[in-house]
Structure 1
């Protein structure tokens, strides 16, 4: 079968590899669609980061590069391993792409996303969504009902947004500021709107600002190149400041703005992955009693996230800006998102070249 595999920095190849074998307690899935994540781009440009390098196998998968990439994917069940009785062949599903040990203190406390050996399917090994087929442990497979398979590929990043919302402690009626309207920022905003918050987005890209407006995920869209973000947020909140803010850009200037724009005793949640250390003004954190929180991926968020989509509270279709075949992954996928990101939000990939479609 065809699979996009990471061989090293700047070296992702479409290889022909053996199909995965079904095992007890697992589920075989034909991949329908897989999204290209910002993490994939970081691996391509700067990796290996989460991908285990040669000579340093992942402690749970025991794999090293080359590994099959892709962790935002949907598909259809084709076979069930021994012991799997609560799913059916032909059922459409998404995957919560984890490897966890189940033995460390975070795992035992229920915080499996903080597992000390944690890895992601599509990064740490175990196959990936940028391929034709995958076999996944039953625990991580979530039925999606009637959600279209192309939209379902966005359930994984939407779950990232849902977990960030949960981590924030925000509630209906609160005012949220989202710094950065990339795919995660937009999908987080969709969750916040679905949960009854007023959403302010700060973003310089014209295409992404337009997407925030056209999808209705933001009540106010600001441009940091022309707006005084802090002044505008204070104006929109009667001088109080936002109740909660989310850093979704991995840009230090954005993080600094959030400290000024959030109200005293407010909450800032860092959602983005940083490729280099950030700096913060500790005096602002102390004197305003700001609560700065981290968030990584998701933990028990997929069911609630799927429900938001099934109930029509989040419409994922508008966030898909291109659909491409696997053999065009680099030139029409990675290159676009790296060098022309202002033109795209979410690009999804199908393993069959006949499925190419741009929207």
Structure 2
């Protein structure tokens, strides 16, 4: 079968590899769609980061580069391995793409996403969604309702990141949230926040993404930082108080500074983006305002609630899909667009069937 294989910095190849089978306790999935994630872009430009360098196999998967990429995936069940009796062939599913040790119980551990040596399917081995098929442990396979389209379902994984950020913020209905950056994670975080009844203000330089945020109703106020003082605008919108919570989704230092400044005293900042370099932080401002700053990685126990939001129509994911391509267009149509023309796109999906 065909798959996108990551060899190293700026070296991704579409190759023929062996087709997987469903081993005991596994589910074989025919991939329908897989999203290109910001993490994939970081690996391409600056990696290896999450992928295990050649000669340094991952301690759980035992794999090293090259590995198959892709962790934002949806598909249908093609086969069930021995012992899997609660799913059906043909059923629509999404994958919670974790690689964790067998002795970590994801049902009882509240932070299995922080367990030792944790990594992701599609980054540290065990197949990936940028391929025709993938075999996944049953515990990471989540069924979805028949009425949910598979292209939209591919966005449930990044939507779960936004859900985890919402939980970490402690935000509640009626609060005002300030989001730095309306890329895919920022937009999907906004969608979660609106579903739970928050007022959402965001800053974003891309006019397309600002328009998309307002058109879809996931943002109440989309600010252009090149035209207005976004901190002053947030304060105006909150009668001078400041935002209750803020979400950093850019890995850009000036945005981090704006979020700190725009938060109210005793507010909370959640850092969602992956930083490939050290950030500078105005610690004095944090101390004097008694801010809480927390980071998140991935999700834990978020997929069921996130899937429910989509199934019940509280979050509409279709407007965020701005491109669909095949594996052969992964670099020129996918990565190049998101790296060099990211103001023109939100989420690009890849299908092995195109």
User: The TM-score by the shorter chain falls in which range?
Assistant: over 0.9
Residue 11 of structure 2: aligned partner:
11
2:342 and 2:175 map into 1 onto residues whose CA distance is 31
Q: Which residue of 2 aligns with 1:225?
A: 226
> Residue 193 of structure 2 corresponds to which residue in structure 1?
192
CA distance in 2, matches of 1:107, 1:238: 43
1:13-92 residue pairs with structure 2 within 5 A?
13-92=13-92
The aligned residue for residue 356 of structure 1 is none
Q: Which residue of 2 aligns with 1:118?
A: 118
**Any residues of structure 2 matched to 1:84-233 within 5 Å, and which?**
84-103=84-103, 109-145=109-145, 146-233=147-234
What CA RMSD, in Å, does the superposition of the two structures yield over aligned residues?
A: 1.3
Contact kept, 8 Å, 2:200 with 2:219, in 1: the verdict is yes
1:328–1:210 distance in 2 versus 1, CA, 3 Å: same
**Is 2:110–2:301's contact at 8 Å kept on the other side of the alignment?**
no
Q: Distance in 2 between matches of 1:287 and 1:317?
A: 42
Q: Where does residue 284 of structure 2 map in the other structure?
A: 283
Whole-angstrom CA distance in 1 between matches of 2:25 and 2:108: 21
Give deviations 1:47-98, integer Å, cap 9, x for gaps: 1110000111000000000000000000000111111111000000000000
CA deviation map 1:6-43 (0-9, x unaligned): 01111100000000121000000000000000000010
Q: How many residues align?
A: 353
| Residue aligned with 2:160, SS | helix
Report runs of 4+ in structure 1 exceeding 2 Å deviation.
102-110
For residue 310 of structure 2, give the secondary structure of its aligned residue in structure 1: helix
> 2: distance between equivalents of 1:101 and 1:108?
14
What SS is found at the alignment partner of 1:297? coil
**Structure 1 position 213, deviation (Å):** 1.1
CA separation of 1:105 and 1:83: change in aligned 2, threshold 3 A = closer
Query: 1:14 is paired with a residue of what secondary structure?
Result: strand
Q: Tell me the equivalent position of 1:294.
A: 295
Q: CA separation in 1, counterparts of 2:188 and 2:254?
A: 22
Task: Measure, in 2, the Cα distance between the counterparts of 1:40 and 1:53.
Answer: 15
Say whether 1:341 aligns with 2:339. no
Structure-1-length-normalised TM-score = 0.97
Deviations 1:270-307 (A, max 9, x none): 01000100011111111100000111110010000000
Shift of 1:309: 0.5
SS in 2 for 1:312: coil
* Residue aligned with 2:32, SS: strand
TM norm structure 2: 0.98
8 A Cα contact 2:105 2:112, kept in partner: no
Note the residue ranges of structure 2 that are not aligned, 5 or more in a row. Answer: none
CA distance in 2, matches of 1:147, 1:101: 31
3-state SS, counterpart of residue 235 of structure 1: helix
Deviation at 1:109, TM superposition (A): 4.1
- Return the offset for 1:106: 10
What CA distance in whole angstroms lies between the structure 1 residues aligned with 2:232 and 2:248? 18
- The answer to whether the 8 Å contact 1:101/1:107 transfers is no
Distance 1:106 1:3, change over 3 A: closer
Give the distance between the partners of 2:8 and 2:219, measured in 1 at CA: 39
Which whole-Å CA distance do the structure 1 matches of 2:104 and 2:51 have between them? 21
CA spacing shift, 1:107–1:275, aligned 2, 3 Å: farther
Name the SS for the 2:299 alignment partner: coil
Alignment partners' CA distance in 2, 1:239 and 1:351: 51
When structure 1 is superposed on structure 2, of 208-217 and 124-133 the one drifting more is: 208-217
